[in-house]
Chains A and B, each alone.
Chain A
Amino acid sequence: MPTQPLDSQENLVALITRHQAALYAYILSLLPDQAKADDVLQETNLVLWRKAAEFDMSKPFMPWACKVAWFQVKAARRDAARDKHVFDSDLVDLLAAEDDSDLEATTELDHALRDCLEELPEDKRELILNRYQPESSVNEMAATRNLSPGALSGQLHRIRLMLENCVEGKLQKSLS
């Protein structure tokens, strides 16, 4: 098995690590199911790791990583062929084929989101973070709050929009 200089290996590992958020967003955009996307990210990481020797350090990382991730998404869709997928194959092909340069800014988005969450009123922050707890569901959350699922979903929608505006503002500010 070919070996690489330690520096290249370390660089690649750093690249994989640094781009976890972007890779996850890319995978989730094609496979909008948290659990499946999580599994595909794991698989993608392992494949990237195994294919370390194939990566040309002089080239950008994300196109290569997204290509690997895309094959893993296709494999996951094939493995779960009997499940109903949210997106049709044609749409997934289209989404995968389009360039998404904003993915590179995912880390900045993460940082901005953290700040924006801090700025949210406490009740709203708690609500949105509860929604993103593992195994959390809108139906269960609604039941414990004596709300209809639709009403709760509406609240979450408004909070997401607040966060989206806040994040966008912070990202633009950081660019100016």
Chain B
Amino acid sequence: MKLDYDPELLDTLLQKLFDESLEEAEIDALNANLFKSQYARRHYRKSLRLHASLIRHRQVEKVLSIKPLVPSRRYWPAALGIAATIALLATFILGTVGTQDMRSSLATESSPTLASGPAAMLTGSSAAIWSSATPPQALDRPLELLTGFAEITYQNGVRVILEGPCRFEVTSETSMEVAHGRATVKVPHPVNGFHLDTPAGRITDLGTEFGVAVGSAAEGPVIFAAVFDGEIEIPAENTPRKRLLSGDSLAIVRDRGNTRLISTFGNYPVDLADSARRLPTSPSGTLEAGNLALAKPVTSPAYYNSELGAVFPPSTLTDGRLNDTGSPGDWSFWLAPNGDSGEFTVDLLTAQSIARIDLQNTRNRIYGDRGIREIQILTSTDGTHFHEILRTELKPIAESPAPGVEFPFESFNFPAVDARFVKVIGHSHYRHPDRPADHLDQGGGLNEIRIFAR
């Protein structure tokens, strides 16, 4: 077979295509090469299939059976896959029994949907753990995603990515209630009128992609809302509703029946740029088996505690939740007070032999102004007399990884020692690289500590 194209040149162009680095002239060259030769197109398809498979490799999760849930007058297919080798659990909601009234009542506000049928289904998940033993069989009831990510697709094409911990319920063909946690909603053109109900009121899509972090503070419910693309309508203080446009972010605070909208909490702008807008890959998952610190109590002389749910207590250090995520009042990491490198003590409840400690640093989400640096680790069997076992320095988390991508752990081994209490004292911390040294917002912080017998 005589080739009528230059395979090396095509290979180079294809690798650039796959790495999204094609220049204008190269785009033209690629088009020309592929257009003129069927062998080049065959070559392209072969390389593309591997590229596609690599993309989908990251999305692969569970294999779940397909089963229709509600035998009724109408049968509906119960599952659609989104990942290569996976089958997905299809979940009917609004099954015929007991749902006709709800459908009727929604008829006036429904977006384009089928005359009847399932409103939404669980179309994917990544490292998801549910409060139930198995993934939910129906979405029309309050559900709790403890950790990981789940993707819910509505029949009208609306897609919601949920990040645990999250409590939610699909309430109709065009709405979802999120009581707690993070959600990102993508509403395809030309659908609009999708509603996301929160404890601080209803957020209405006007054709868009937006994210929320639903939490609470001493003042009441606090909801961060950010528009990634398009427009949404949110509850407001002086007018019935307020529109947020692409790039806007606000916190909705419900306080004694009143709604307040604010753009900053403390000195931080409200920002949800780290929200998962697509179903992330399944985290590679560093091993946690044998972690003696998991769920053990942690005390700290002080921690960062400000208004509107900006609370970062030491209990987050052993909660098994990794990375900088969460929602107001329920963040996944510990922060020392401003200007303080921090200190905390883990109580293993009984004296045990330990020989390794793994630490996962923080960067305080997108703000990048926190993180512990030089540390001293001490142990004790009685909580009074502590002995130093090591001094070391943690690396900073320089960049925010994509949602679902695990921050690195650093592992420290030492000769086995009996300990019930493990104290970590911060002697220095990382700051925002572009801010003056005396800037208020800086201090120690850490995401997680794991302690092992060996």
Complex Cα distance, B153 from A131, in Å, reads 27
Partner of B157, one of A46, A144, A164: A46
Q: Contact: A110 with B81, CB < 8 Å? A: no
A13 engages B21 (CB within 8 Å) = no
- Interchain CB contact under 8 A, B157 and A28: no
Interface pair A32/B48, CB less than 8 Å apart? yes
Known A-B contacts A3-B75, A111-B85; A117 and B399 likewise in contact (beta carbons under 8 Å): no
Q: Which of B19, B35, B115, B188 has the most CB of A within 10 A?
A: B19
Q: Tell whether, in the assembled complex, residue B15 and residue A153 are in contact, meaning their CB atoms are under 8 Å apart.
A: yes
Known: A32-B48, A98-B41. A106 touches B81 (CB 8 A): no
A14 and B65 CA atoms in complex are apart in Å by 10
**In the complex the two chains form, is A21's CB within 8 Å of B84's CB?**
yes
**Could you list which residues of chain B lie within 8 angstroms of chain A, going by C-beta atoms?**
11-12, 15-22, 27, 30-31, 34-35, 38, 41, 44-58, 66, 68, 71, 73-88, 90, 114-116, 153, 155, 157, 159, 188-189, 278, 280-281, 398-399, 401-405
> Shortest distance in angstroms between B112's beta carbon and chain A's nearest beta carbon?
11
Query: With contacts A43-B188, A86-B30 known, is A21 near B50, CB below 8 A?
Result: no
Interface size on A, residues (CB 8 A): 74
A161 to B374, CA, bound (A): 43
Which one of B22, B41, B86, B114 has the highest number of Cβ atoms from chain A below 10 Å of its Cβ?
B41
> Judging by beta carbons under 8 Å apart, are B48 and A25 in contact?
yes
How distant is B271 from chain A, measured CB to nearest CB, in Å? 16
Least Cβ–Cβ distance between B35 and chain A, in angstroms: 5
Chain A residues closer than 8 Å to B50, beta-carbon distance? 109, 113, 160, 163-164, 167
Set A132, A135, A164: member contacting B46, Cβ < 8 A? A164
| A residues at B contact (CB < 8 Å) | 1, 3-6, 9-10, 12-14, 16-18, 20-21, 24-25, 28-29, 32, 34-35, 38-39, 41-43, 45-46, 48-50, 52, 79, 86-88, 90-91, 94-95, 98, 100, 102-103, 106-107, 109-111, 113-114, 117, 128-129, 131-138, 140, 144, 149, 153, 156-157, 160-161, 163-164, 167
Closest Cβ–Cβ distance, residue A79 to chain B (whole Å): 7
B404 and A1 within 8 A (CB):
no
**Do residues B16 and A91 form an inter-chain contact, with CB atoms below 8 A?**
no
Question: Can you report 28 residue pairs joining A to B where beta carbons are below 8 Å apart?
Answer: A3-B73, A16-B77, A16-B80, A17-B80, A21-B53, A21-B56, A24-B52, A24-B55, A24-B84, A25-B49, A28-B55, A29-B45, A43-B157, A45-B82, A87-B31, A90-B35, A91-B35, A98-B38, A98-B41, A107-B85, A132-B281, A137-B20, A138-B19, A153-B16, A160-B15, A160-B51, A161-B11, A164-B50
Neighbouring A residues of B38 by C-beta, 8 Å: 98
Interface centre among A3, A5, A21, A157 (most CB of B within 10 A): A21
Given contacts A13-B90, A16-B81, A164-B50, contact A134 B19 (CB under 8 A): no
Give the residues in chain B near A113, CB-CB below 8 Å.
Answer: 50, 53-54, 57
User: What's the minimum C-beta distance from A167 to chain B, rounded to whole angstroms?
Assistant: 6
Chain A residue with Cβ nearest B26: A86
Residues on the A chain within 8 Å of B73, using CB: 3
**Residue numbers in A under 8 Å from B54 (CB-CB):** 113, 128, 132, 160, 163
A13 touches B84 (CB 8 A): no
Residues A134 and B281 in contact, CB atoms below 8 Å apart? yes
Q: Check if A95 sits within 8 Å of B155, measured CB to CB.
A: no
Contact (Cβ within 8 A) A50 B78: no
Chain B residues with Cβ below 8 Å from A107 are 84-85
Chain B: which residue is nearest A26 at the CB level?
B52
Which residue from B30, B56, B68 sits with its C-beta under 8 Å from A110?
Answer: B56
**How many angstroms between the C-alpha atoms of A131 and B402 in the bound complex?**
12
For A137, the closest partner residue in chain B by CB is: B20
Beyond A103-B49, A134-B403, 20 additional pairs, beta carbon < 8 A: A9-B76, A10-B66, A13-B90, A16-B77, A17-B86, A18-B87, A20-B81, A28-B48, A42-B82, A45-B81, A49-B77, A86-B30, A94-B35, A94-B41, A110-B85, A133-B401, A134-B281, A138-B19, A140-B399, A164-B50
A115 to B402 CA separation, bound complex (whole angstroms): 26
Chain B residues within 8 Å of A102, by CB: 45-46, 49
Least CB separation from B30: chain A residue: A86
Please name all residues of chain B whose beta carbon is closer than 8 Å to the beta carbon of A87 when the two chains form the complex: 31, 34
For the complex, give the distance between the alpha carbons of A89 and B322 in Å. Answer: 45
Measured in the bound complex, the distance between the Cα atoms of B58 and A117 in whole Å is 12
Chain B residues contacting A34 (CB-CB under 8 Å) are: 55
Q: How far is the CB of A47 from chain B (nearest CB, A)?
A: 10
Report how far A3 CA is from B367 CA in the complex, Å. 54
Bound form: Cα–Cα A144–B47 in Å: 27
